[in-house]
Amino acid sequence: MVAYARVFLIVFFTLLAVFLSSLLFLLFDLSPIAGLISLFQIGFGSRQGLISTVGGAVPLLIVAVGLSVPFTARVWNIGGQGQFVIGSIAATWVGLELAGTLPPGLIIILAMFGSFLGGVAWVLPPTLMKIRLGINEVITTLMMNFIAVFLLDYLIAGPMEGAAAAVSHEPSSAPIPSSLLLPAVVPRTNIGVGLLIAFLLALGLFFLLKFTRLGYELRVIGQSHDVAKYAGIPIARDILLSTVISGGIAGIAGMVDIFGATGILLPQVFSDITTSYGYVGIPVALIASLNPLAIIGSAIFFSGILTGTYGLELAYGIPTDVVTAVYGLVMFLAPLGVYLSLGKRRLTLAKAKQ
């Protein structure tokens, strides 16, 4: 019964947040109601919109399910974006270097492997700093994001610059050969193998969190380090494992984005949050209460909002930055809403037991 109440509250407050953000439409002489209706129609109603929604949800989904692992232990890996970026760099590099020398399927697998390693490498320094030196992981993982993003832009403006870019002055890497693109139902989107990978990861991590020993231990660690110690749980080791998993998976998300959709590395520094899956993954994971299966839904929802917002941009000139505000507001209100209603109940019970 309590579980249903929670879901209801989360959905309610999420929609409330969306509604509140829609008040920003007024700045563009658009009525919030009309705007919202359009948004949902475009994002979830039209064929084109759905393609964009589902396709865009794929990398987001992957990152978010990866985040659910350390978040369960209350280890806040904010570095998903950096790990994503490094993963995409690694995958692209593998793809470009090995193109033509090996069968495409094998190259794809190697690229996935490389992206995983890249993401892991990017999350290791902050994690070690946390375990050994007790440094809060939020700032450190975040700094790594900035380093990664600048590194990316540097690479594609320099060492990895593609031929086309040199002419057009719009930085990018060389595109990976189309033979390497992940097979898809809708070409140049991730609705295909990419989606499959995402689902498999969601299922796998759901299984991990719910049924394995590591998942169990992470839950206890997230509750209280004292209780975890009593239970004999190796806290440092588990924290390390959880961040490694999430870093690597975020890297894979980067690979999937390149090999499934964009096919090319593009600069990130001043891009907006709409393509920053590493950041958006955070509220996506939190809203779904860190449940990988529920994350599938929340990723599609968030992605749909984004698609709808693109539509609104075309139709009414509303900037896509709105979406960031939406995400932020959702991230703020939804957990609060649950806490407000259920938290009080917990509070009174606790007092009574003293």
Shortest Cβ distance from residue 146 to another protein (Å)? 4
Shortest Cβ distance from residue 282 to another protein (Å)? 6
- Which residue, among 201, 227, 261, has the nearest Cα to 61 in the 3D structure? 201
Shortest Cβ distance from residue 131 to another protein (Å)? 12
Question: Would you say 189 or 243 has its CB closer to another protein?
Answer: 243
- Which residue, among 256, 328, 301, 245, has the nearest Cα to 88 in the 3D structure? 256
Question: Would you say 147 or 293 has its CB closer to another protein?
Answer: 147
Question: Would you say 101 or 226 has its CB closer to another protein?
Answer: 226
**Is the dihedral angle over the CA atoms 257, 261, 265, 268 positive or is it negative?**
negative
> Length of the chain in residues, anyone?
354
Question: Would you say 50 or 89 has its CB closer to another protein?
Answer: 89
CA 221 to chain centre: 23
Using a 10 angstrom Cβ sphere, with 0-12 exposed, 13-18 middle and 19 or more buried, the burial of residue 85 is: buried
**Is the dihedral angle over the CA atoms 30, 35, 39, 41 positive or is it negative?**
negative
Measure the CA–CA gap between 215 and 134, rounded to whole angstroms. Answer: 23
Question: Would you say 183 or 343 has its CB closer to another protein?
Answer: 343
Shortest Cβ distance from residue 45 to another protein (Å)? 24
Which tokens is 302 given?
């968030």
- CA distances to 9, 71, 267 from 338, rounded to whole Å, are 6, 18, 38
Shortest Cβ distance from residue 33 to another protein (Å)? 18
- 3-state SS string over 307-339? HHHHHHHHHHCCCCHHHHHHHHHHHHHHHHHHH
Question: Would you say 86 or 193 has its CB closer to another protein?
Answer: 86
Shortest Cβ distance from residue 317 to another protein (Å)? 6
Question: Would you say 199 or 216 has its CB closer to another protein?
Answer: 216
Shortest Cβ distance from residue 333 to another protein (Å)? 8
